[in-house]
Chains A and B, each alone.
Chain A
């Protein structure tokens, strides 16, 4: 990995980038009924689902919880409801996955807290595939919804998610808390049960490790378009 500010214009074959480049193709083939393409599509999106699940659970419960149930449940629902997915682009596809994850994380958090059924779970997605023509797709990410006004390309989301999943657990946790949940170090330290200074150092190493995991595209100095 270099500090070179040049960005590769075309996706390189490095790491998961190959997956990202093929998502559109797999998605189209899977929608046409190709089971093998569908399996690859799900395989390539697994860490994306895991990252989303982790973020949601962290946010809702403010505690470290095993995300694997939410990941399993979400992938299962996406599998079952796949025929009902009406979108076409990878962006719509990931948006759809994210919404399934968000709902499941919400339910899981509710169960975990054991709150009364009434206040939280009033509306639940029973069948994501219940009605293909409505709602579940058509969820392009609205750049204006980001507080810093910045959108992210879906390829980058996938790459980041894959890189995050490849990290050691404490590295991942500190990144989720500091960079995704945007918590100050004092709070990160409290949740991780370490000193604030130790968290800072851990965080430094985590960012470096993440950078290591990412392909050259991310090492460049220029912001992504």
Chain B
């Protein structure tokens, strides 16, 4: 890139090296050097405000940086009585180091506020509140806090060093054996119950917050998002940052902060159990928005489908924790522990509750593509059947239609089945979209509806394809619909009217454009 030399702006006669030194003085906060340079070259005065402004802008941007702002690693440094060792992990606000308390000669985990000296008053307050909440708890299943304070301007607290891995690290090697998973979650559930008894909600239960020691005993850690349930109004932990969406309860993912209760943590227990049984969180997605949508709208894939070794009762316990409606989950963490322990002892556990409507809702959330197709196909079939009953002379006309609808329903079920067993999400989508276009075309041809308002089914199919949240599927659906419509016109005995064909084509294209745009929007989110 070449640049035409510009006419000299005012002050451009200053030596670049001098200006650079001046900037260095400003950036280093060296006022004597600043003054000396200004005295040596008075023209610099005109640049002062501008350069200082830029420098202050830099600090101001840094000061409000995300809580995860970089802090120089402290490894190897001395901080009060501690000698800081390796970094163990990083959370939303804090960095955890292994450290040695010199006086006592013992190793601890040292948590420091990540933003360090850049921390805002709010971050500091929350950090202190986390330490205070955690300090209220004494339980073998919860990482204990030793002391807290401030060293060299760094807020810190020290806690038990758990020699082992967190569950997230264990997961990378694959799912845990079911009995081990159940034992771990039962212990964690008891610890969570202890928290609840103390009036504290954890609100951020996930595998990385469960540390497993060498003996295999889990310890709950990280109270960064915990909240004192008794002081609803006090801004102890805020809604500014919420937990990882993958492990969030739907009520939390919906952005609610108030009205969360112990059953939110029950969901969290279920989410961890799901993850360690299957090796993946209950819900995923390419972007935050998609994860949240899945958490809110979908049913988790049953664990047994992902890992056939998962026993049925364990799956039932897990899915009951993960119910969308808090009222359908276990009422307490202790109840989760009870059921898990009962299963470990070989006792029977309570069968899943819920009436047929609840089960239907769950089926629809689990298999939305086939479910909603079946519903609309059966609805159409009902209308067709009613018509045949109403006027028996139409039976011969409608019989192929009714058969076609039934075949379509069967194909939808087959697509869903293939999607579960064999195909990727996109392949499943293609199967559904192409099947739909084929059946709509065939049915319209059967009733000779190339010119009737029924062709509106084509644009409807295209907009429905948007629900797959895949732009390519929207385009495939549009292509399939237009092809179907062309075939319909070509085989139609009626006279071809180009204006009608153009309008229908336009409708299909519009529906595709709208769906495509909407999907693109969500994908970016």
Decide if B357 is an interface residue (CB 8 Å cutoff): no
Give the interface centre of B61, B93, B120 by most chain A CB atoms within 10 Å. Answer: B61
Chain A's interface: helix, strand, loop or mixed, by majority? helix
Q: Chain B residues near A136: list those with CB within 8 A.
A: 240
Residue of A nearest to B288 (CB): A124
Q: Chain B residues near A182: list those with CB within 8 A.
A: 27, 58
Give the A interface residue count (CB, 8 A).
Answer: 85
Tell me the bound Cα distance from A34 to B241 in angstroms: 29
Q: Chain A residues near B67: list those with CB within 8 A.
A: 123
Q: Given contacts A128-B240, A170-B3, is CB(A211)–CB(B47) below 8 Å?
A: yes
Determine whether the beta carbon of A218 is less than 8 Å from that of B53: yes
Q: Chain B residues near A107: list those with CB within 8 A.
A: 288
Residue of A nearest to B67 (CB): A123
Decide if B279 is an interface residue (CB 8 Å cutoff): no
Task: Out of A98, A111, A208, A217, name the residue touching B12 (CB < 8 Å).
Answer: A208
Q: Chain A residues near B491: list those with CB within 8 A.
A: none
Determine whether the beta carbon of B20 is less than 8 Å from that of A200: yes
Task: Out of A117, A138, A151, A181, name the residue touching B56 (CB < 8 Å).
Answer: A151
Tell me the bound Cα distance from A156 to B58 in angstroms: 12
Tell me the bound Cα distance from A135 to B46 in angstroms: 40
Inter-chain contact total with CB atoms closer than 8 Å = 233
Decide if A12 is an interface residue (CB 8 Å cutoff): no
Determine whether the beta carbon of A208 is less than 8 Å from that of B245: no
Determine whether the beta carbon of A130 is less than 8 Å from that of B255: yes
Determine whether the beta carbon of A126 is less than 8 Å from that of B292: yes
Residue of A nearest to B286 (CB): A111
Q: Chain B residues near A152: list those with CB within 8 A.
A: 53, 56-57, 59-60
Decide if B463 is an interface residue (CB 8 Å cutoff): no
Determine whether the beta carbon of A3 is less than 8 Å from that of B253: no
Give the interface centre of B57, B117, B224, B246 by most chain A CB atoms within 10 Å. Answer: B57
Task: Write 18 A-B pairs (CB below 8 A) sorted by A numbering.
Answer: A3-B10, A51-B61, A69-B524, A102-B65, A118-B208, A123-B91, A127-B239, A136-B240, A147-B29, A179-B27, A180-B61, A182-B27, A205-B9, A207-B51, A211-B50, A214-B53, A220-B49, A224-B52
Q: Report, nearest first, the 9 A-B pairs whose CB atoms are least far apart.
A: A123-B92, A131-B239, A146-B59, A152-B56, A221-B45, A208-B9, A134-B238, A148-B29, A127-B255
| Residues of A that sit less than 8 Å from B by CB | 1-3, 5, 51-52, 55-56, 59, 69, 73, 95, 98-99, 102-103, 105-107, 111, 117-131, 133-136, 138-139, 141-142, 145-152, 156-157, 159-161, 170, 175, 178-182, 185, 200-205, 207-212, 214, 217-224
